[in-house]
Structure 1
Amino acid sequence: MTQDESLIEKIQARDVEALAEYIAVHRDQLSGFVRSITGEHLLAVTELDDLIQEVSATAISGLSTAPLDQYSPMQWLQQIARRRVVDAHRFHFDAKIRDFGRQKSIHAAASPGGNDESDGGLERLLAASMTSPSAAVSRDIRMHRMSEAIASLSEEQQAAIRLRYVDGLPTKSIAEKLGKTDVAIRVLLSRSMRELEKRLDDVRPSR
């Protein structure tokens, strides 16, 4: 029996020490996975090591109820990592997005000829989530570029992004609407966001 097989067997028996050792042995693999799903805009405001530490702590505290009959230890850790990344994104960016929306509403109310609230909604949401306070002066430029970048995506990519980031639908619901699997939608969204980040690289806020 290999070391991995021995550790997995102990983990399935709910051995916390075996799980801690497994995480240590596979730390590079787990770190690579977390980095691949995090995105540079989030890594600009949080440390990768902190995310790994949170994943490890969550796994260790939740080992007693982990669905290890359905997933391998690594698959389970990756599920936890996805949730941690989503939580981190909400913590760092949701308040900014809401505040940005309120500022626009106030501006629109004060301007008789203001645009409708839905005008540029997707561009504003995504620009806000990728914009740091220090880059506020360039927000209009980024929004213009964001609009161009979104227009360059396929209709399917645009639909998925709008359903996820404007309507706030979970990926399973988006999959049902677009006739795809949940996994396919997750891949589509991830690829689309990477394309947007790449197209906006020259106006990315500095760290």
Structure 2
Amino acid sequence: MAGSPSARPVVTPALIEAARAGDREAWAEVYRCYHGPVLAYLLRRTGCRPLAEDLAQDTFVRAMAGIRGYRWTGADFGAWVFTIARNVLLDHEKRRSTRRERAVAAVADRDSGVRVEEAVIAAAEAARVDAALAVLNERQRAVLRLRYWDGLSSPEIADRIGLRVGAVKTLTYRARLNLRRSLAG
């Protein structure tokens, strides 16, 4: 385990039960197992390491607070942790979207070859897509983000969020259909 960067501790039902009972070593083992993958996921989504680290910390604080309510179903425990990470990210995006401000200087032409009009049009288009995504339900948004932003396949998404592959494909289809309708309207 120590020599191989890909080796991770195994999270077993017994380890989860020990963490639920308040065993600090068990919780540390769970943290060691999932911190790296959760941080990588959040870093891919945000593109900002300090923000990703903050969101990863929030993820584990929520997981620690909610682990007593977790019930082992046989599904990968990581799906539960990644669901929390996704929800932390979505909460952050909701908070950020209510405070979205852009200084005029941020759109100024600075010898970058980008004309101010193009930057304004791109910002308006991004706002339009954000508004269309807001119409989707949380699961649909999550599936689209995992598929198109993170580049995961349907089986990878199914494994990550604890659904069947067919359900992921249906969610993706409906999300794309709803997004298309929202953008057209």
Output the TM-score relative to the length of structure 1.
Answer: 0.49
- Residue of structure 2 aligned with 1:164, choices 133, 146, 163: 133
Q: What is the one-letter code of the residue matched to 1:39? A: T
Q: CA RMSD in A?
A: 3.9
Task: Go from structure 1 to structure 2 and tell me whether the alpha carbon gap of 1:188 and 1:72 turns closer, same or farther (over 3 Å shift).
Answer: closer
Q: What is the one-letter code of the residue matched to 2:64? A: I
> What residue in structure 2 maps to residue 32 of structure 1?
40
Instruction: Give percent identity, aligned residues only.
Output: 16
- Residue of structure 2 aligned with 1:135, choices 89, 94, 106: 106
Matched, 1:10 2:18: no
Give matches, 1:5-154, under 5 Å: 5=10, 8-13=13-18, 14-16=20-22, 17=24, 18-36=26-44, 38-40=45-47, 43=48, 47-69=51-73, 71-96=75-100, 135-137=106-108, 140-145=117-122
- 1-structure distance, mates of 2:59, 2:104: 28
Task: Give ranges in structure 2 of 5+ residues lacking alignment.
Answer: 1-6, 110-115, 152-185
Q: What is the one-letter code of the residue matched to 2:66? A: G
Shift of 1:21: 2.4
Shift of 1:85: 0.6
Q: Deviations over 1:19-60 (max 9, x none)?
A: 232212432222112212x233xx38x622211111111000
Task: Give ranges in structure 1 of 5+ residues lacking alignment.
Answer: 101-130, 150-157, 175-181, 193-207
2:11/2:30 contact within 8 Å kept = no
Task: Go from structure 1 to structure 2 and tell me whether the alpha carbon gap of 1:145 and 1:10 turns closer, same or farther (over 3 Å shift).
Answer: closer
Matched residue count = 136
Output the TM-score relative to the length of structure 2.
Answer: 0.54
